[in-house]
Amino acid sequence: MKTRRDFLQHLTTAALALPIASVYGLENPLPPVEVPYQGPVLRVALLGLGSYATRVAEAMKACTKAKLVGAISGTPSKLKDWQRKYNIPEKNCYNYENFDAIKNNPDIDAVYIITPNALHKPQCLRVAQAGKHVITEKPMAINVTEAQQMVDACKQANVKLLVGYRMHFEAKTLEVIRMRKAGDFGKVLFFQGLSGFIIGDPTQWRLNPALSGGGAMMDIGIYSVNGARYMIGEEPVWVTAQETKTDPVKFKAGIDETIQFQFGFPSGAVASCLSTYSLNNLDKFFLDGTKGFAELQPSTGYGPIEGRTHKGVLKYPHVTHQTTQMDEMADILLNNRQPEVPVDGEEGLKDMKLIDAIYAAVKSGQRVELKG
């Protein structure tokens, strides 16, 4: 018996180009046929199997271009767990001592580093030396010097380096960027970014400067740093910043609790942002121009992102961010696709330069001038 699939396979290209309703008649149109993806698949190992890695692993179940095939952890029981849960072969599992041997594993294309911030650089250098593409979580490093070393090491090893900027693939965010480029907001002069949450457990690595490299700024404030750049579409030329601390016991030296910072852009636009570990309900971007505005709230959480502009509510279906991110990153790594907003090491480096400048401005109380 001929199936619907057989029938469709024998349709000519011309017939396939017709709207489906014209082929079958308007009364009883068949639903569109899903053609399974048949292109190359990026085979990924996750390094560090903590809470965000688990979120990524779950999201990757729905990926078509990327596949979770390997795991690296210091905890043998976690590796056993992940082998069962995600169908990962034993031969693709490594610990922190032996993962350089990934070099000899032809079944892994890329390693996604999802460990505490201070470990990103040394682990990136090892992955690059093993000849695998690197995806690293944000912040890519704990300062600009380390970030530059990562970019250089990947270049030298001839592998690509990407940073886990999931918002760069989010539909409502991209629509605001499209509208700004199309001139819908007129001359953009102001961005506000509010990024914060109340942090719990005082013993966690996020509150240990040796592992985190800083406080809220490194963790959540970076969303406003990065967002200011992609929403305004320029690179800051000056930075000012002020720090406040209400709990010096929980937020010890080297861990910023709250920082307000401002950026000035070449066009004259300014950004005013807040980064904090002491307030919830702070996840908002606001962009204003001479002809209109855009507001995203929540703007960078796991979603759904909500947004509106002077033209109305932004309507795009929510897709799990990490699913889209990993499929898009597969396209970037395997097919050299150029994303609308970059996610490469150079992009991460720009944020690290700004974060270093914010800390310098806090320390000196002076405006820090940047080259742009």
Closest CA to 113 of 149, 61, 163, 150: 163
Q: What is the DSSP letter of 257?
A: S
For ligand NAD, the closer CB: 214 or 307: 214
Nearest distance in Å: CB 94, ligand NAD: 13
**Site for ligand NAD contains 264 (CB under 6 A):** no
Question: Looking at beta carbons only, is 300 or 309 nearer to ligand NAD?
Answer: 300
User: Could you tell me how many residues of this chain bind ligand NAD (CB under 6 A)?
Assistant: 19
| Tokens encoding 282 | 């702070």
122 binds ligand NAD (CB under 6 A): no
Minimum Å distance from CB 19 to ligand NAD?
A: 39
What does the block give as tokens for 2?
């001929």
Nearest to 321 by CA among 87, 199, 164: 164
Span of 109-117, 148-156, 232-240, 272-280 interacting with ligand NAD by CB under 6 A: 109-117
CB 285 within 8 A of CB 231: yes
- Start-end of H helices in 49-188: 51-60, 76-86, 120-129, 144-157, 171-181
Beta bridge partners of residue 64, listed in sequence order:
none
From the list 65, 121, 138, 350, the catalytic residue is 138
Residue 51 vs 104, nearer CB to ligand NAD: 51
* Residue of 94, 223, 230, 359 marked active site: 223
168 contributes a contact to ligand NAD by CB under 6 A: no
The reply to whether 347 sits near ligand NAD by the rule CB under 6 A is no
How far apart CA 140 and CA 136 sit, in angstroms, is 6
Tally Cβ neighbours within 10 Å of residue 194: 21
Rounded Cα–Cα distance for residues 347 and 351 (Å): 7
Binding mask 286-325 for ligand NAD (x = CB under 6 A): ----------------------------------------
Question: In sequence order, which residues have a C-beta less than 8 Å from that of residue 202 and are 6 or more positions away?
Answer: 250
Q: Which of 102, 119 has the CB closer to ligand NAD?
A: 119
Q: Which of 115, 224, 258, 278 binds ligand NAD (CB under 6 A)?
A: 115
Residue 115 or 192 with smaller CB distance to ligand NAD: 115
By CB under 6 A, residue 49 contacts ligand NAD? yes
User: Restricting to residues 55-84, which ones interact with ligand NAD according to CB under 6 A?
Assistant: 74
For 74, residues 6+ apart whose C-beta sits below 8 A from its C-beta are: 95, 96
Active-site residue flag, 160: no
Question: Is 223 one of the catalytic residues?
Answer: yes
How many C-beta neighbours within 10 Å does residue 258 have?
21
Instruction: Provide the pairing of β-strand 133-136 with 161-163.
Output: parallel
- Examine residue 52 and tell whether it contacts ligand NAD (CB under 6 A): yes
Question: Of 43, 44, 48, 327, which one interacts with ligand NAD (CB under 6 A)?
Answer: 48
Catalytic residues: 138, 223
